[in-house]
Each structure stands twice: as C-alpha cells, then as structure tokens.
A = this chain, B = another copy of it.
Amino acid sequence: MTATARRRPLAARTGEASLTDEIIETAHAAADAARAAVLPFFRVDELHADSKLADGFDPVTEGDHAAEHAIRAVLAERRPRDAILGEELGHSTGDSGLTWVLDPIDGTRAFLSGAPTWGVLIAVSDASGPIYGVIDQPFIGERFEGGLGRARYHGPRGHRTLATRPARQLSQSILFTTYPEVGTDAETAAFARVAARARLTRYGLDCYAYGLLALGQVDLVIEAGLAAYDIQAPIAVIEAAGGIVTDWQGNPASHGGRVLAAANREQHQAALQLLSGPG
C-alpha cells in the first residue's frame, strides 16, 4: 500500500467516523498520561537519585516503565481489543486489526543528559502500516500529530498545521541524524555521501528531528538500526505533513532498520540515489 493510501482517513475505509475520533482522542489521552508519568523522572534531583542509586534506581528505566504503564492503562480502558507493541513491556494481542506501537522514551540518552529532545512515541497501525502517530515532548510541551486527516503541531507558542518544506537543491538542505557514527561502516559511508552534499548536518535530536521535518524546519533525517517503535509514529506524522519516509532502498520503513525521511519527493530521490548507490 502506498504512502498516499495510508494517509487516507480511516473513516473512508471503515465507514466509521466515530472510530477515527475515538483513536485520536485515545492517543491524546495516552500522550497526556505519559507526560504526567514521565516528567517526575526527567532532570531528577541528583542527590535524590544518588540516594536511590544504591537500590538500583535508574531514572530513565523508571520513567520508561512509568510512561508505558500509563499509556497501557488508557488503552485498556478505551481500546481493550487493540493489540499493543511496546518498547518496554512487549506485545499484547488484540482482535480489532489495530496495533498501538509505543516507545515511551525515544532518546533515552537525551533524557539521561537533561536535554529536552527526547519524546514519547505513540502510533496506531493496521495491516498497511502506521495510520496515525504522535510525537510528544513532555518537558517543552510540544506535540506533533499526523494521520487520519490530521497534521497538527501544538506547542508553548501556539498551534500550527504541519507541512514539510518545499523542494530545494540538496546543497541547500538541512540534514539530521542522531549519532555521528550512524551505524555500520557501510551505513556511515552512505550517510557521509549525503552529508557531503548538504548545506548543514546536525546531530543528537532523536525523534525530535522527525518533528522538525514535519514542521517544515529541516529537509532530511537519515538513521540506521531503528526498531519499529522508533519510526512508526514519525512515519504517520511526516506523511501527514507531506513528507516521505522509506528505507534506504525506497521500500516501506515501518519495520525500522535504515530510515530515510524527506520533506518532499525531490529531496527523497536525491538522498536515495546517494544512499543506495555503490559509494
């Protein structure tokens, strides 16, 4: 199924407008619950953390678990027949045809460092892949939402519609990845071919970079070694904003691995050629 078909509102396929509303409301309730659960563990007071470290206290692990439990509690109440695939607590089966794909803290290293660029990722998938997703940054209070007819940003300075940047030369592009080492030597070399042509390459934002792409601030995000729960919410958000997400061969990226997210078809083609080429 193509990206365009996945962006088509669920209601158009199911004939149930109320289902679309219910999914969106559930996702927001889950994201709100995750915010409340995870924030007490962010930038936790050093002395407080140290006193518990003797007992094995790890704020990232604790925050990860608290957020996923909070999301699962919302889903158990509102959508008990949906399946769940969570980064922390594994897979729960369902019979509705829908799966919630969760990464309660994407960017644990950012979280551990106090940097406000980690996020809570919540996606809803059907057999075609992710149909709706939320990237939430609890500390700043930003939420990027896409799919089922929505493409919205909510932040401390107001709301706006998500829309990726128009096409421009690769030499004018802003490129993000999380780690300078990217992945294997071959993956790092492929990334470097794109970086060498871009205007600007930046590091270290984890899922926040996908939000910036959907917001029209950057042109490309390229990563390797991702899991399904790392990328399903960004796929839904970016596709809703007009962007394209595939693997480095141009195939669906919803299972993770090597990911190329682009603001538009021209950027996607230019980067794909460099990533998939012989080097």
Tell me the A residues contacting B by CB distance below 8 Å: 39, 43, 45-46, 50, 109-110, 112-117, 139-141, 156-157, 163, 165-166, 174, 176, 180, 200, 202-205, 208, 212, 215-218
Q: Please determine whether B46 and A205 come into contact, CB atoms closer than 8 angstroms.
A: no
Partner among B109, B116, B180, B204 whose Cβ is within 8 Å of the Cβ of A140: B116
- Measured between C-beta atoms, what is the minimum distance from A60 to chain B in Å? 11
A-B contact pairs, 26 of them (CB 8 A): A39-B157, A43-B215, A43-B217, A46-B216, A109-B202, A112-B174, A113-B174, A113-B176, A113-B200, A113-B217, A113-B218, A114-B217, A114-B218, A115-B117, A115-B202, A115-B205, A115-B208, A116-B140, A141-B156, A156-B156, A180-B180, A202-B204, A203-B203, A203-B204, A204-B204, A204-B205
Q: A174: which B residues are within 8 A, CB to CB?
A: 112-113
Known interface pairs A43-B215, A113-B218, A139-B140; 13 further A-B residue pairs with C-beta atoms within 8 A, sorted by A's residue number: A46-B166, A46-B216, A109-B200, A109-B202, A113-B200, A114-B217, A115-B117, A115-B212, A116-B116, A139-B157, A140-B140, A156-B156, A204-B204
A139→B158 CA distance, assembly (Å): 11
Interface of A is mostly: loop
A43→B213 CA distance, assembly (Å): 12
Closest B residue by C-beta to A181: B180
A202→B205 CA distance, assembly (Å): 10
Partner among B46, B180, B208, B218 whose Cβ is within 8 Å of the Cβ of A203: B180
Closest B residue by C-beta to A165: B46
Q: A217: which B residues are within 8 A, CB to CB?
A: 43, 113-115
Partner among B45, B113, B163, B218 whose Cβ is within 8 Å of the Cβ of A202: B113
Q: A166: which B residues are within 8 A, CB to CB?
A: 46, 50
A66→B57 CA distance, assembly (Å): 46
A46→B216 CA distance, assembly (Å): 7
Closest B residue by C-beta to A212: B114
- Measured between C-beta atoms, what is the minimum distance from A143 to chain B in Å? 14
Q: Name the residue among A46, A139, A212 with the largest chain B CB count within 10 angstroms.
A: A46
